[in-house]
Amino acid sequence: MACVAGCSIENGTSLGVNWREVNCHNKIKHPSLPVFHFSLACNHCEEALCMQNCPALAYTRDKETGAIIHHAEACIGCKYCTWACPYDAPKYNPATQIVEKCNFCVDRISDGKQPACAQACPVGALSFGQEEVNEENHLTPGFVNMGIKPSIQLIPLREEHSTPQIENTDAIEIDLEKLDRYLPKTESKVALDKEWTLVLFTIAVAGLVSWQAAHLMGKIEMPLIPFAIISVLAIALTSLHIGKKLRMWRFILNLKGSWLSREIFSFSAFLGLTGLQIITENQQIGYAALAFGVFSLISVDMVYKFLKRKDGLVLHSGMISLTAILFFAWLADISILIELIILTKGCLYIWRKQSLRKQKLIYFPIISLLRILCLMVPYILLDMKLDMVLPVYLIITFLGEIIDRSEFYDESDIVTPKNELRIIN
């Protein structure tokens, strides 16, 4: 851990916020398991996902060294870069409410010195220089290779990149099925207790866009005051997820590369144009607003492209695009669309739960049953032609979507070296 200490001393990082970490293959220190360690910080990738996806343009590349530099004064603390980076390089600091990361010791290497981590390493496991990177050496277990060309050269492990083997005939055999419970619990960057504001915000986006679509069809009224109240609440919810609220305007600076920027910009445009349409009663403005609204739904789903789902499936029943279609179908009273979207969501949900069950992962069957009932009960009542008011259908549907969207976050995680090593174990 000398490299970690050297980095911390050189950069004056806060306690517990280490820009460099040593990843261990045998965290439970069992003699039957292979042992190796590798030290990682920011790899200053050629196609750096943190820089490409940061909505606030808080990252730049140093022209002389190629280092990816994070600018604290521009960071809004949205933590999206911590989702995008597969190497867990950007670190969120709760004390400052912004992100920090390795700066490649640009001042040191510009003066011809080694980075602090390399200088501090007592066994020569780290060194710095300029040479052609051989991507085949990125096959080391635990090192994530997503094709973004990290500027790091790993010396291959013996036996052609395979896990090192240890001869120990006296060691107790490990039950692999129980191994996971022995491993130290890692804190996920995506957790429901952290993302509950996003659950409500994303469903609010779906509800507002579907409301506008049904209103343009003449199926439902859209009074200004209720629309304005829900819009303000939605904006307030998303602001709770960022560290520097007074810098929220920077959210829309990276429309070219960040789906998060596109989401916030398109949703803001939707809200503004819809409000103007209600005031002026101009249908053309309403159609323009709806176009931005539809794009905001697409953007919401695309924001989560970095997440790794536990079920391993491509589609999720809690996708906001599907939720918006379901709300629209109820508001516009289109029976065939209600049936199709309920069938689609139900099949995706059951398929997902079966996948989790096969992997012996927790899937909360009672909550799952409640979610299925929230899909089916409104449809059964509609099919029986009971004289039920629309708000009853919407409340039941809303409850089901809350469950589904909450499970989306609870069943997702970020690709990191720690998680990859956990899978290998």
Helix, strand, or coil (residue 187): coil
State residue 110's pLDDT score.
Answer: 87
pLDDT for residue 285 is more than 60: yes
Mean pLDDT across 103-117 = 92
Relative to beta strand 68-70, strand 21-24 is unpaired
| Alpha-carbon span 56 to 249, nearest angstrom | 8
309-324 confidence digits (pLDDT tens)? 888 888 899 999 999 9
Give the DSSP letter of residue 309: E
H or E segment and range at residue 4? helix 2-11
| Alpha-carbon span 261 to 250, nearest angstrom | 9
129-159 confidence digits (pLDDT tens)? 887 777 666 667 778 888 898 988 887 666 6
CA dihedral sign of residues 276, 278, 279, 281: positive
State residue 155's pLDDT score.
Answer: 77
250 vs 74, 85, 279, CA distance in Å? 8, 20, 28
Q: In the structure, what pLDDT confidence band is assigned to residue 188 with cuts at 50, 70 and 90? A: confident
Segment among 2-16, 222-236, 265-279, 374-388 with least mean pLDDT: 374-388
Cβ atoms within 10 Å of 39's Cβ, excluding its own? 18
Residue 42 near residue 89, CB atoms below 8 Å: yes
Tokens of 399: 């409850």
Mean pLDDT across 242-252 = 93
pTM, two decimal places: 0.87
State residue 186's pLDDT score.
Answer: 66
Nearest to 51 by CA among 90, 17, 106, 96: 90
Helix, strand, or coil (residue 350): helix
| Alpha-carbon span 243 to 236, nearest angstrom | 13
Nearest to 213 by CA among 289, 137, 303: 289
Cβ atoms within 10 Å of 22's Cβ, excluding its own? 14
| Alpha-carbon span 263 to 286, nearest angstrom | 19
Give the DSSP letter of residue 247: G
- Residue 24 is which amino acid? C
pLDDT for residue 169 is more than 60: no
State residue 165's pLDDT score.
Answer: 55
pLDDT for residue 95 is more than 70: yes
pLDDT for residue 302 is more than 60: yes
| Averaged pLDDT of the chain | 87
Q: In the structure, what pLDDT confidence band is assigned to residue 74 with cuts at 50, 70 and 90? A: very high
CATH architecture of the domain 2-179 equals 2-Layer Sandwich (3.30)
Tokens of 344: 């689609």
Place of tokens 């309920």: 342
Tokens of 150: 């990290």
Instruction: Report residue 130 CA to chain centroid gap.
Output: 33
Which range, 12-21, 33-42, 71-80, 183-192, has the best average confidence (pLDDT)? 71-80
364-375 confidence digits (pLDDT tens)? 889 999 999 999
pLDDT for residue 60 is more than 90: yes
CATH 2.40.50.140 applies to domain 192-417: no
State residue 416's pLDDT score.
Answer: 86
State residue 147's pLDDT score.
Answer: 85
Mean pLDDT across 93-104 = 94
| Alpha-carbon span 11 to 176, nearest angstrom | 41
State residue 320's pLDDT score.
Answer: 96
8-47 confidence digits (pLDDT tens)? 999 998 888 999 998 877 666 666 666 678 899 999 999 9
200-209 confidence digits (pLDDT tens)? 999 999 999 9
Q: Domain locations in the chain?
A: 2-179, 192-417
